[in-house]
Each structure stands twice: as C-alpha cells, then as structure tokens.
Amino acid sequence: MTLGAGGSSVVVPRNFRLLEELERGEKGIGDGSVSYGMDDADDLYMRSWTGTIIGPHNSVHEGRIYQLKLFCDKDYPDKPPSVRFHSCIHMTCVNAETGVVEAKKFSMLSNWQREYTMEDILTQLRKEMVASCNRKLTQPPEGTFF
C-alpha cells in the first residue's frame, strides 16, 4: 500500500502487484536461498508460480533444493496463495500426504496481511526448517516428490 496526496491510501491492483513480484523474483533475491517465478508465462492471470528453497546450513536440510508450487487466486494479495511442496519434506506445517502448507499450522498464512509477498512466504518457510520442532525431523530421501 502506498500513500497518495493528503494521506489517502491507494491499493495497488492485483496484476501490478504480481508484476512487481515477478520482476523481483527474476532479479534474484537476497542471498539466493529462495527464488520464485511464474510457472506458465502464458498465464495472463498470473496464478501459478514455482518457488525454490535451498535448505539452511547446519540442518538436516543442508544441501537440499526444495521445489514448491504457489497458486495466487483472484483474491490475492488480499488472501494468501495456496502453497504446496512438490519436493517431499517433513515439517510440522506441511501435510505429510499432500505437501500442502497448512495455514492453521503456519502463522504467516493464518495471519495473512496484504503486504506479505511470495518471497516472504518462502523466506519464512526456510526459517521454519531450522525451528526446534523441525530441525531434527528425519527427511524423506532426496529427489522424492509428493
């Protein structure tokens, strides 16, 4: 959200917001530990996205590359995208059968704010990998998928 003249707030339209996120994702983010982009360049509604998280150092995830799917429905960014791991992973907020990140177990999705981005989700999921509840969980073999 940005402030216009006189302090009135201006809501950035969905497609402009997604174009901003696409541009940022294509440029590369921070230290390169997370990345994302469109799943299908022909998707005019910019709904399907692919994300990647490189496992944090000094964890059972170190050296692994996790692939995710993000789906931004028509009400994004007012409502969060659906997020699903494609790569198999054991985490307390991820459904062990489907790879879906469960909103009720992942506070960023359950307490969604319009200002949050797909980058924020990926970064927070990476932080969750080293949380005490997830840090030592036995992981499925590398290269397995949901």
Q: Using one digit for the tens of pLDDT, what is the confidence trace for 12-70?
A: 889 999 999 999 988 877 788 999 999 998 998 999 999 999 999 988 999 999 999 99
Query: Is 104 within the bounds of a domain?
Result: yes
d(CA 84, CA 119): 14
pLDDT in tens, 57-99: 988 999 999 999 999 999 999 999 999 999 999 999 999 999 9
Q: How many CB atoms lie within 10 A of CB 143?
A: 9
Closest CA to 1 of 77, 91, 74, 72: 77
**Residue range of the domain that includes 66:** 14-129
Under the banding of pLDDT at 50, 70 and 90, the label for residue 7 is: low
Query: Is 57 within the bounds of a domain?
Result: yes
Query: Is 8 within the bounds of a domain?
Result: no
Query: Is 72 within the bounds of a domain?
Result: yes
pLDDT of residue 26: 82
Query: Is 68 within the bounds of a domain?
Result: yes
What's the pTM? 0.90
pLDDT of residue 124: 97
pLDDT in tens, 95-122: 999 999 999 999 999 999 999 999 999 9
CATH number at residue 62: 3.10.110.10
Residue 10 belongs to what H/E stretch?
Answer: strand 9-10
Q: How many structural domains are present in the chain?
A: 1
Query: Is 145 within the bounds of a domain?
Result: no
Query: Is 1 within the bounds of a domain?
Result: no
